Structure 1
Amino acid sequence: MLVTEFRTEDLPVAERFGSWHDMTARALIPNVIRSDHEGDFRAGARVLDMGAVQVSALTYPSLETRRSAQLIRQSDPDSYQLMLSLRGGNRILQAGRDTTVGPGDVMLYDTSRPWHGWTAAGADTVKGVMVQFPRALLQLPASKVDQLTAVRLPGHQGMGALLSGYLTQLTAGAATYTAADGARLATCTLDLLTAFLAHHCDAAASMPPQTHHRALLMKIYAFIQQHLGDPDLSPAAIAAAHHISVRSLHRLFQDQGTTVAGWIRARRLERCRRDLADPLLSNQPIHPLAARWGFRNPAHFSRAFRAVYGLGPQDYRRQHQADRASRGTHRQTPGAPRQ
């Protein structure tokens, strides 16, 4: 997977707006862009190229954009763009609709239809995450999806909140992904987009079974992450929350090569590891930290932690503190006074 970082502030002031215009035409879709901030255009993009699917975290000032019929004739990738607004406002005219969205909202655009759009940053920049993907990969009836273009879709709750959280975390963790992760993440992204759009166009019955399963699994993952601190979190509770049988739940995790209990334990141990490595928590006793993530039995926690990380919790914390102190010493310039 190719990850590209672009910041206009790394360029001379006179080149910033033109470079942004060219970058978005190459990485996203050709548009005509105008802005009151062209004299010193400060914007940034993190673009995750996963093959057919592309996800971009964007920040930019207020601007106006047009995609004309002429531009479509010159370059029509036959794609959709889905924009998650995180800050600022967006307004678009497309397909006879005039729609404005704000932070937390989602909107779908059709790149094969002309549009005229505006973004309003207020005192800050506009911020959002955009997904671009081919229409052919969206396994939903085109007539149903067309009803959702240029329509405000809520991203605060339910499937919208799941999609918003996923896209935000996906772009934030871009630096940690490997080349092999790209295809897997593209599949996950498409499945979740399909489930989100199907929810809003009442076409869930037309989704392939494998898409249903993957979307359900991602929803379950999010539920577990939100309830890791509950020591009573169990397969029965998870299954009931998602209106499936415990047997079906176990089968979903078996298909992923793991178990429900194993997946929960791994997430809890990782949260404990982060807390043990956090210098702000270095004075807090270990067992309350473990209990915070659902480990009520100190002996069981210590054994489980050692089995995964090779050290007991106390030894892990000491080693991490020593490593941090060593790095701080090495950063000191020889002969320079300590601050």
Structure 2
Amino acid sequence: MNGQALATWNARVHSVCGRFETRYEHCQSLFIGELQHTVLGATEVAYIRSNAQEITRSTRASQAYPDPHCFLVLQQHGEMQVELGDRVVHLREGDLALLDGEAALKMVPRGLFSHVSIHLPKVRLAGLGPERFGKLSTAGACGQLLSTLVRQVAAGELSQWACAEDGEGLQEALLALLAPVLQYRAGDHGAGLLLHEVHALIQQRLDSVRLTPAGLAEELGISSRQLYRLFEARGDSVCRYILRERLAKAAQDLRNPACAHRSITDIGAAWCFADSAHFSKAFKKHTGLSPRDYRGARH
């Protein structure tokens, strides 16, 4: 990239996402800033990838350039710290967050990151206090549906189906699912709900090779032993649960006509199986069929 890369990037961000300013103090030729903008029906979506050191929206900018949107964000790759007033949230791969387009905020990525930002009208979320913005829990049924829908948007799976008649349908669906999700934080945090939260967090991280029991325990703020006990109390183990869920996702892809062009090895790798032999052995043990036979029998 040439010396104008950062200026070009900022101009692009202003036009799509609002008055966010990017700081990058290293050699400009090393700066990475990619932003793709698309519209699904009437819903705007921004696909962002950058190694920016800091992305901020100042109080002055939020007052001078009020934005009518909120941003529903999926952190696809990398991690970042987000400062929301006097609160700090940490976004890891797979996390969902709701950010206020009018409020001041600061994003501090840890190296290269990519995320998807879906624009939602703030007027439809009127009355939300600042504490409602930040990382979202997906512990309930609506949380899982919201996560699945956002991931489909992020993967581009809906682009081929989008048409003018969709109108605000996607936006309405996201808002309808978001309403109960925003109430999850006020719920009980007993042992039963904690296991529910663990399941939800695992679902968010299934496609990451960095998903480990130790990492889950750290993120949940509990010991590894507590995590193991949650599953042992129900005759299960965290590792077996992760394996089953990855195999279930792989099975969905194998029988999905939209994935017919993808090889079995590619599908296995997408769900963190190191090689096709390991994937085939685990899949046959779980389903009784090899991935090839399972795909062939999907009809």
Provide TM-score, normalisation by structure 1: 0.52
Contact 1:48 1:174 in 2 (8 A): no
| Cα separation, 2, equivalents of 1:279 and 1:100 | 35
Partner of 2:233: none
Pairing of 1:71-82 with structure 2 (within 5 A): 71-82=61-72
Contact 2:43 2:168 in 1 (8 A): no
Partner of 1:89: 79
Partner of 2:132: 148
- Relative to structure 1, the CA distance from residue 290 to residue 198 in structure 2 (aligned partners, 3 Å threshold; closer, same or farther) is farther
| Cα separation, 2, equivalents of 1:115 and 1:288 | 48
Q: In the alignment, does 2:43 pair up with 1:62? A: no
| Cα separation, 1, equivalents of 2:64 and 2:9 | 20
| Cα separation, 2, equivalents of 1:273 and 1:108 | 32
Structure 1 segments unaligned to the other structure (5+ residues):
1-11, 203-267, 294-300, 302-339
Shift of 1:275: 7.5
Contact 2:23 2:54 in 1 (8 A): yes
Aligned-residue CA RMSD (Å): 3.7
- Relative to structure 1, the CA distance from residue 105 to residue 52 in structure 2 (aligned partners, 3 Å threshold; closer, same or farther) is same
- Relative to structure 1, the CA distance from residue 51 to residue 32 in structure 2 (aligned partners, 3 Å threshold; closer, same or farther) is farther
| Cα separation, 2, equivalents of 1:43 and 1:280 | 33
Contact 2:136 2:181 in 1 (8 A): no
SS of equivalent to 2:97: strand
Q: In the alignment, does 2:118 pair up with 1:135? A: no
| Cα separation, 2, equivalents of 1:279 and 1:119 | 33
| Cα separation, 1, equivalents of 2:68 and 2:127 | 15
- Relative to structure 1, the CA distance from residue 162 to residue 37 in structure 2 (aligned partners, 3 Å threshold; closer, same or farther) is farther
| Cα separation, 1, equivalents of 2:258 and 2:76 | 27
Partner of 1:180: 165
Shift of 1:273: 5.0
Partner of 1:102: 92
Structure 2 segments unaligned to the other structure (5+ residues):
188-251, 266-289
Partner of 1:24: 13
Partner of 1:191: 176
Identical positions, percent: 18
Q: In the alignment, does 2:154 pair up with 1:164? A: no
- Alignment-mate amino acid for residue 168 of structure 1: R
| Cα separation, 2, equivalents of 1:87 and 1:23 | 21
Shift of 1:28: 0.5
| Cα separation, 2, equivalents of 1:288 and 1:87 | 31
| Cα separation, 2, equivalents of 1:275 and 1:116 | 38
| Cα separation, 1, equivalents of 2:23 and 2:74 | 21
